[in-house]
Amino acid sequence: MVSAKLRTREIGMLVFDGFQLLDAAGPIGAFEMPVRGMSPPPYRLSLYSLEGGPVRASCGLSMMTEVLPPGLKLDTLIVSGGEGTREAMSDEVLLEAIRDLSQRTRRTCSVCSGSFVLAAAGLLKGRSATTHWRRSETFRRAFPDTNLQADRIYVRDGKFWTSAGITAGIDLALALIEDDLGEEVSRRAARELVVHQRRAGGQSQFSVMQDVRLASGRFDELIGWVRTNLAASLDVDTLAARAAMSPRNFARVFRAETGATPARFVEKLRLEAARQSVETTTLPLQAIAAKTGFGDPERMRVAFMRAYGQPPMVLRRQGRTNSPV
């Protein structure tokens, strides 16, 4: 089935002064994987800039680029992000080149803050998109006519694909590979890269463990146990007994260690697990609520509304919309 699809697709990465190196190198590395051992090679990769030659990344290193020729036709255009997007957004020559080139591409994509450049070119007006979480509020203010889904790894809206910060460009590339060549090829590419099989587009940019501060590794074992026993009774008494501490002392020390009360921490873990199941599986909400410790769908819905502002079914539909299938 894959062989019937095989043809060489032109993938063009567009960079500019101050681009983020990994925004470009990550997707390029992902697209390289299926090229190995496949005939004809499914991808031909090119790195472009307006004028060609070496282009300096924000880290100070430079990459050699080809000049962006007039009339170029690509299967997929990917615009890098980085600190240089602030200047790129006001470069009308660059924006016009992107608008013109996008008309001749099957897919137009961005990594990280590259979505600012696509939006400045007018390509995301009335569309859904995402960007790096740190610049999400700036994006909303600058482009109120774009439906920003700030808590997404990547978003697909028609031919336009946008992704979150930096390493999410690899997730985007793996999703594009799956769109072209199927899940098995994408999975093999992920294995070659030694990364997890691509995260679903609807998956959050964040995780509970990124959102808490751990003063030490004191509760690592307990947290690991909680994550694999979300359906259990996880009240303070249970957790304190597991940690061999009195409930009062446990609650005090746990909050000092994590920045959250035990109850709030457990709810965050349950929300994270439930959201992932809602967005990436077809399990009934009743089953998800049971396995993640919410007990019933209504209690889970209330928690989702409080945490995400949307009920589970809305997030499930959005997850399906953003899936590259």
Terminal alpha carbon distance of the chain: 16
- Tell me the C-alpha distance between 91 and 177, whole Å: 31
- Tell me the C-alpha distance between 35 and 42, whole Å: 6
- Tell me the C-alpha distance between 324 and 179, whole Å: 6
Cβ proximity of 313 and 284 under 8 Å: no
Q: Which of the residues 111, 112, 176, 278 is marked catalytic?
A: 112
Scan for tokens 């889904």, then name that residue.
149
Is 112 one of the catalytic residues?
yes
Q: What is the 3-state secondary structure (H, E, C) of the chain?
A: CHHHHCCCEEEEEECCCCECHHHHHHHHHHHHHHHCCCCCCCEEEEEEECCCEEEEECCCCEEEEEECCCCCCEEEEEECCCCCHHHHCCCHHHHHHHHHHHCCEEEEEECCCHHHHHHHCCCCCCCEECCCHHHHHHHHHHCCCCEECCCCCEEEECCEEEECCCCHHHHHHHHHHHHHHCHHHHHHHHHHHCCCCCCCCCCCCCCHHHHCCCCCCCCHHHHHHHHCCCCCCCCHHHHHHHCCCCHHHHHHHHHHHHCCCHHHHHHHHHHHHHHHHHHHCCCCHHHHHHHCCCCCHHHHHHHHHHHHCCCHHHHHHHHHHCCCC
Catalytically active residues, by annotation: 112
